[in-house]
Structures are given as structure tokens and as C-alpha cells.
Structure 1
Amino acid sequence: MEFDFTPVITYFPTLLKGVGVASLVAIVVAFMSIVGGLIVAVISIYTNKVVSWPLRFFIWLFMTTPLLLQLYFLYFGLGEWVLIPAIVVGILGLGFHYMAYNAEIFIATIKSVSGGQYEASRSLGFGHWNTILYIIVPQALIRSIPQLGNNMILMVKDTSVLSAIGVAELVYASQYAISVSFRPFEFFIVIAMMYYVINILMELGQAWLERQTAYRR
């Protein structure tokens, strides 16, 4: 078997467009899943069961069903009533999926903050929600960086699943190039290397962020 990377060079701009789409999706999903996960965690811990139980069910539902099934449900199920662009469905599907996982991380890190800090803050005149927002949550955020970083690395790789609903990310772009060039192995090698480089860069960024915040833990 002879390798021929000429088609890869020809369609490399197409692959770069796929990287751009995947990066855009990943950035939006990261913001949605982290902020949403933090909100879900705080509400589920500090509110009554009438409010927290539906959120717990949300976490359980998205953590116990496959991501691909969730995407199909949103795209084909809701698509019967509302026409939603594939990229929006992909962002919502990935966002809710990782929001559930991030919420579990935040629940654990919030509970790991010493209860004495809550009592000390209240004794200094801070209100209940001010204590949570300005004392407890910032510490929980810092403590959650390693787990959140790992989740976001997994999420970036999971953007490849969006090709199943027609989102033109990296894998989808490569499938088009393969269908024209009939050189699948060469393209698979290149996109694997591209994902590897992205992962390495994210791991370096995570390590830098952990070093910057280590003294605050």
C-alpha cells in the first residue's frame, strides 16, 4: 500500500474550515456548560427539593444516555415541530451533555469547601447568597479546574460526533474530501494528528492555569 498525501494538501483548507467550525462550537459549548453547570449546582444544593429534584433528574438523564442519542433526539425529534439548524442542535446537545457532567463536578467542589468558611462569612455580616457567590463559589471554581479541563478536552474530541447530524466540523469536512479523493487512510492520519495537536495545546493551557491558581486552593 502506497501513501499519497497529495489530496490532503489539496483539501487542507477544507480541513482548516472544519477546525474553525469545531473550535467555534467548542468555545460556545465550554461557556454554556461551565456557566450552566455552576448555576445548576448552586441551585440544586442551596434550594428546596421542589426545585433541586428536577435539576438532579436533568443531570441523571444526560449522564446516563449516549451523546449521539441526545443529538438525534434534538435534531430529528424536535425537528418535527421546529426547524433548528444542525450547528445549533450540536451546541445545545453538547452543551446540555457537558453541563450535566460539570454540574456534578461543581456540586462536589462546592461541598468540599469548609463549612466553617460559610459560618465565618455570615458572622462578618455577609448574607446567605453573598457568601455563596463571593466566598464559596470562587473557591469551588479554582478547585474544579483539573476536572473541568479534562472535561473540556473530552468535549473538543466529542465535537466529531456532530458530523452525524451534518455539522461541518473536522470529521465531516474530511468525509467530503475522502468521498472525492478515495484516500481515507491519509486523511484519517492527518485529522488524528490535528486532534492530537489541539489536545496538547489544551493540556498545556490547563497546566498553566493550574499553576497560576495553585496557591489559592
Structure 2
Amino acid sequence: MEFDFSPVITYAPTLLKGMGVTFLIALVVAIFSIVGGLLVAVISIFTNKVVSWPLRFFIWLFMTTPLLLQLYFLYFGLGEWILIPALMVGVLGLGFHYMAYNADIFIATIRSVSSGQYEASRSLGFGHLRTIYYIIVPQAFIRSVPQIGNNLILMVKDTSVLSAIGVAELVYASQYAISVSFRPFEFFIVIAVIYYILNLFMEYGQSRFERMTADRR
């Protein structure tokens, strides 16, 4: 068997376009899942059971069902009543999935902050919301950096699952090129190398950020 990477060069613009879609999805989902996960965690801890129980059910539901099933439900299931573009379904599905995981992490780190700090803040005249915003959440966020970083790395790789619903990300773009060139092995090698390099960059960025915040934990 002889390798021929010339089709990869020919379809490089297609792969670059798919890579751009992957980066865009990953960026939007990262922001959505972190901010949303933090809000879900804070609300579920500091509100009454009527509000917190539905949020905890949301976390349990998305953590105990496969991502692909969630995407199929949103795209094909809800698609019978509401026409939602595949890209939006991909962002929402991946976002809610990792929002649940991030919320679970934030709940643990918020609870790890000493209750004495909350009491000390209130005794200094800080209100309930200001104490949460200025005292509790910053410490919890810093403590969650390693786990959240790992989740983001997994999330970027999971963007490939969106090809199953027709989102034109990197894997979907390579599938199109393979269907025309009939050189699957070469394309899969290149795609694997791209994900590997991206993974290295994210791990490097995570380690740098962890070192920057290490003295604040």
C-alpha cells in the first residue's frame, strides 16, 4: 500500500474551512458551558429546593445520557415541531452537555470554600449577592481550573460528533474529501495530527493558566 497525500493538499481549503467551523463552535461552546455552568451551580446551591431541584435534574440528565443521543433528540426529535439549523443544534447540544459537567464541578468547588469566609464577609457588611460574587465565586472558579480545562479539551474533540447531524466541522469536511478522493487513510492521519497538535496547545495553555492561579487557591 502506497501513501498519497496529494489529495490532502488539493482539499486543504476544505479542511481549513472545516477547522474554522470547529474553532468557532469550540469557542462559543466553551463560553456558553462555563458561564452557564457557573450560573447553574450558584443558583442550585444558594436558592430553595423548588428552583434547585429542576437544575439538579438537568445536570443528572445530561451527565447520564450519551452526547450523540442528546444531539439526535434535539435535531431529529424536536425537528418534527421546530426547524432548527444543524449548527445551532450542535452548539446547544454540546453546550448543554458540558454545561452540566461544568456545573457539577463548580458545585463541588463552591462547597469547598470555607463557610467561615462567607460569615466573615457578611460580618464586614457585604450583602448575600456581593459575598457570592466577590468572595465565593472567584475562589471556586480558580479551584475548578484543572477540571474545567480537562473538560474543554474533551469538548474540542467531541465537536467531531457533530458531523453525525451534518455540521460542516473538520471531520465532516474530511468525509466529503474522502468521498471524492477515495483516500481515507491519508485524510484520517492528517485529521488525527491536527487534533493532536490542538490538544498539545490546549494542554500548554491550561498548564500556564494553572501556574498563574496556583498561589490564589
Answer whether TM exceeds 0.5 for this pair. yes
CA–CA distance in 2 between the matches of 1:200 and 1:19?
A: 16
1:3-82 matches, within 5 Å, as 3-82=3-82
AA partner of residue 184 (structure 1) = P
1:31, distance to aligned residue in structure 2 (A): 0.5
Q: Which residue of 1 aligns with 2:87?
A: 87
1:132-167 Cα distance to aligned partner (Å, 9 max, x none) = 111000000101000000000000000000000000
* Secondary structure at 2:39 match in 1: helix
1:91-130 pair list within 5 angstroms: 91-130=91-130
Verify: 1:157 aligned to 2:152, yes or no: no
Q: CA deviation at 1:78?
A: 1.0
Letter in structure 2 aligned against 1:134: Y
Deviations 1:54-110 (A, max 9, x none): 000000000000000000000011111111110000000000000000000000000
Shift of residue 169 of structure 1? 0.3
- The TM-score normalised by the length of structure 1 is 0.99
SS of 2:200 mapped into structure 1: helix
SS of 1:43's partner is: helix
Amino acid at match of 1:66: P
Residue identity matched to 1:91: V
The percent identity for this pair of structures is 83
Q: Which residue matches 1:2?
A: 2
Structure 1 unaligned blocks of 5 or more:
none
1:167 corresponds to 2:160:
no
- TM-score, normalization by structure 2: 0.99
Q: CA deviation at 1:211?
A: 1.0
Query: Equivalents in 2 of 1:9, 1:19: separation in Å?
Result: 15
| Structure 1 ranges of 4+ moved more than 2 A | none
Q: Distance in 2 between matches of 1:24 and 1:164?
A: 18
Please state how far the C-alpha of 1:12 moved relative to its aligned partner: 1.1
Q: CA deviation at 1:118?
A: 0.5
CA distance in 1: counterparts of 2:76 and 2:156, whole angstroms = 23
Listed one character per residue, the Cα deviations across residues 189-213 of structure 1 (whole Å, up to 9, x for unaligned) are 0000000011011111111111111
SS in 2 for 1:109: helix
- Looking at structure 1, the residues matched to 33 and 134 of structure 2 have their Cα atoms a distance apart, in angstroms, of 21
Shift of 1:13: 1.3
Q: How far apart are 1:36 and its partner, in Å?
A: 0.3
What are the ranges of 5 or more consecutive residues in structure 2 without an aligned counterpart? Answer: none
TM-aligned CA deviation for residue 119 of structure 1? 0.8
CA distance in structure 2 between the partners assigned to 1:38 and 1:199 by the alignment: 24
Deviation sequence 1:1-57 (CA, Å, 0-9, x none): 111001011111111111100000000000000000000000100100000000000
Alignment partner, residue 214 of structure 2: 214
